[in-house]
């Protein structure tokens, strides 16, 4: 892995809400094709960290480099261009309710990337077929199941040709039966070498696929390491405690 | 018989003339009112602190001043600073601005009802704020604001009768002229009332048609 180049580097990310610090000096780097999975209790700062990475939440401190170039988020043009290269998947999908699955994928291609309607349409159909939704392109979000919605949102992000994907608990809002259809898509992305940071409670999935697990609690990155070590022999007491509890709860399978 | 002939040949032609003026007042006022209302509503939700304050003040003033007073200011007040508006233009300006203040309230509520997740979704794809409003939140907010905005347009049809106060002789103004010439107040104002009822009925019908044509899965009305 050493020969791969670093795609994303985050340094000293800090975010406060009032007097509460929800993220403290978090640093992280991501090599090409790498998958890092954030684990930790709810409210530990996983979502905040992911949202700080594409500046949906403005960090109080911290710097970010994509492909070696630092992103200055106060320069609007730079920020918008950067966000196009960083795909984001949300826990509750965040599809645009007034648009069909096809239009959801198409709209940013036309309005943001300035592609022609025809190009955008072809691309959108390809991406939707890739996530197994070729038969549902004309449906509105209200007519899709949770798993289908999440797959549309993945297609929507992929159509932008992102260099990195951020996945914020992509399966947490889904019925148990629908989780696997979304995880399958993510596994497929992984096999195609997509660089990703993901937060999840699906510990079985995490341990099999992740290059590294990152344990976050109270806004601190307490420990980072390969899944095997983190789950069975973590250095930090709290990591061990959390990992054994979550393994018990969610099991090793996915 | 004499009565009917009088209505047929004296009253109706005059009222018809007034009706044409009324429609010329209502249609542009409804259009500009809604247009400005959407902009003000969007500013009140998505504007910077200063723009928000400015838009709030706008609403405070145009919703707070009695409409007749606003019309007097546009028609009798502005000439003092060298601006002369015709009665027609002064009325349309007055109606549009007042109506936009009310529209902005419906639009604001509708913008707020769009789930914030969708704005995050749009931003994460690289939409600018303006693009996000135009392509993502406005199309949804507009659908939700329509019943309220329709209500405001129905109101506008009726308060357009205030234009005669600044000598823009529309339907009510014409009626008042013939009535005071003939002293047939009851008959004439009954007819005028019926004409307004007809106008508001047509307007509600059109608004319903528009609402239905914009209906999408996930935006359906409650059906008992």
pLDDT in tens, A15-25: 999 999 999 99
- Interchain contact, A90 vs B120, CB within 8 Å: yes
Question: Is A144 part of any domain?
Answer: yes
| B219/B21 Cα distance (integer angstroms) | 37
pLDDT in tens, A185-204: 999 999 999 999 999 988 88
State how many domains chain A has.
1
Question: Is A127 part of any domain?
Answer: yes
pLDDT band at B96 (very low <50, low <70, confident <90, very high): very high
CA distances from B89 to A159, B94, B111, B165, B188 (A): 50, 8, 31, 14, 27
Question: Is A231 part of any domain?
Answer: yes
Domain of A170: which CATH number? 3.40.50.300
- Interchain contact, B125 vs A143, CB within 8 Å: no
Q: Which domain holds residue A133?
A: 6-250
Question: Is A68 part of any domain?
Answer: yes
Report residue B198: phi and psi, to 5°.
Answer: -60, -45
- CB atoms near residue B14 (< 10 Å): 17
* Nearest CB to B128 within list A80, A88, A160: A80
pLDDT band at A79 (very low <50, low <70, confident <90, very high): very high
pLDDT in tens, B117-147: 999 999 999 999 999 999 999 999 999 999 9
Question: Is A1 part of any domain?
Answer: no
Question: Is A141 part of any domain?
Answer: yes
Token digits of residue A67? 């492909």
| A45/A106 Cα distance (integer angstroms) | 32
At residue B179, the pLDDT reads 92
**Could you tell me if B215 lies within 8 Å of chain A, comparing CB atoms?**
no
Decide which of B98 and B184 is more confident. Answer: B98
At residue A243, the pLDDT reads 84
Handedness of CA B122, B125, B130, B136 (dihedral sign): negative
Report residue A165: phi and psi, to 5°.
Answer: -120, 140
Mutate one of A52, A55, A96 to test the B interface: name it (highest B CB count within 10 A): A96
Looking at the predicted structure, is the pLDDT value of residue B5 above 80?
no
Looking at the predicted structure, is the pLDDT value of residue A254 above 80?
no
- Interchain contact, B126 vs A81, CB within 8 Å: yes
- Interchain contact, A84 vs B217, CB within 8 Å: no
pLDDT band at A119 (very low <50, low <70, confident <90, very high): very high
Correct CATH for B2-213 of 3.90.480.20, 3.40.50.620, 1.10.3720.10, 3.30.9.10: 1.10.3720.10
- Interchain contact, A95 vs B121, CB within 8 Å: yes
pLDDT band at A252 (very low <50, low <70, confident <90, very high): low
The ranges assigned to domains in chain B are: 2-213
| A124/B147 Cα distance (integer angstroms) | 34
**Cβ contacts of B136 on chain A, cutoff 8 Å:** 96, 107
Within 102-141 of B, beta carbons closer than 8 Å to A belong to 115, 117-118, 120-128, 131, 135-136, 139-140
By three-state DSSP, how is residue B44 classified? Answer: helix
Q: In this predicted complex, what is the ipTM?
A: 0.91
Distance from CA of B112 to the nearest CA of A (A): 15
- Interchain contact, A111 vs B135, CB within 8 Å: yes
pLDDT in tens, A132-189: 999 999 999 999 999 999 999 999 999 999 999 999 999 999 988 899 999 999 999 9
At residue A170, the pLDDT reads 94
């Amino acid at each position: 892995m050493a020969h791969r180049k670093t795609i994303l580097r985050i340094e000293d990310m800090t975010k406060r809400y009032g007097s509460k610090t929800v993220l403290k000096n978090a640093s992280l780097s991501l090599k090409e094709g790498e998958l890092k999975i954030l684990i930790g209790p709810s409210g530990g700062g996983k979502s905040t960290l992911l949202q700080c990475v594409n500046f949906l939440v403005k960090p109080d401190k911290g710097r970010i480099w994509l492909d070696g170039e630092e992103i200055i988020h106060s320069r609007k043009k730079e920020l918008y261009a950067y966000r196009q290269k960083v795909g984001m998947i949300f826990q509750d999908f965040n599809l645009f309710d007034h648009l069909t699955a096809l239009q959801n994928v198409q709209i940013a291609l036309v309005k943001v990337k300035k592609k022609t309607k025809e190009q955008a349409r072809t691309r959108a159909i390809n991406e939707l077929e890739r996530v197994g939704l070729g038969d549902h392109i004309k449906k509105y979000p209200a007519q899709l199941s949770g798993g289908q919605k999440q797959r549309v949102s993945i297609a929507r992000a992929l159509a932008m040709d992102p260099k990195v994907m951020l996945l914020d608990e992509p399966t947490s809002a889904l019925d148990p039966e629908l989780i696997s259809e979304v995880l399958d898509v993510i596994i497929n992305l992984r096999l195609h070498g997509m660089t990703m940071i993901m937060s999840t409670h699906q510990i079985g999935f995490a341990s099999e696929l992740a290059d590294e697990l990152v344990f976050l609690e109270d806004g601190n990155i307490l420990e980072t390491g390969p899944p095997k070590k983190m789950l069975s022999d973590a250095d930090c007491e709290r990591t061990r405690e959390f990992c054994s509890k979550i393994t018990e709860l969610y099991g090793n399978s996915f | 018989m004499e009565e009917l002939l009088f209505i047929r040949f004296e009253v109706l032609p005059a009222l018809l003339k007034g009706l044409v003026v009324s429609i010329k007042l209502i249609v542009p006022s409804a259009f500009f009112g809604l247009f400005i209302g959407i902009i003000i509503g969007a500013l009140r939700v998505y504007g910077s602190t200063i723009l928000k304050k400015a838009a709030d003040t706008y609403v405070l003033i145009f919703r707070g001043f009695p409409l007749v007073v606003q019309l007097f200011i546009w028609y009798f007040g502005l000439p003092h600073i060298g601006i002369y508006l015709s009665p027609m233009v002064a009325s349309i300006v007055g109606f549009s601005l007042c109506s936009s203040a009310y529209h902005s309230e419906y639009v604001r509520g509708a913008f707020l009802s769009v789930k914030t997740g969708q704005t995050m979704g749009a931003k994460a794809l690289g939409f600018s704020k303006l693009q996000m409003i135009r392509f993502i939140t406005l199309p949804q907010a507009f659908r939700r604001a329509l019943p309220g905005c329709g209500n405001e347009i129905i109101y506008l049809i009726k308060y357009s009768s205030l234009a005669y106060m600044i000598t823009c002789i529309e339907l009510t103004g014409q009626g008042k002229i013939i009535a005071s010439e003939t002293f047939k107040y009851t008959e004439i104002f009954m007819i005028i009332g019926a004409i307004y009822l007809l106008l508001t009925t047509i307007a509600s019908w059109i608004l319903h048609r528009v609402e239905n044509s914009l209906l999408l899965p996930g935006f359906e009305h409650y059906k008992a």
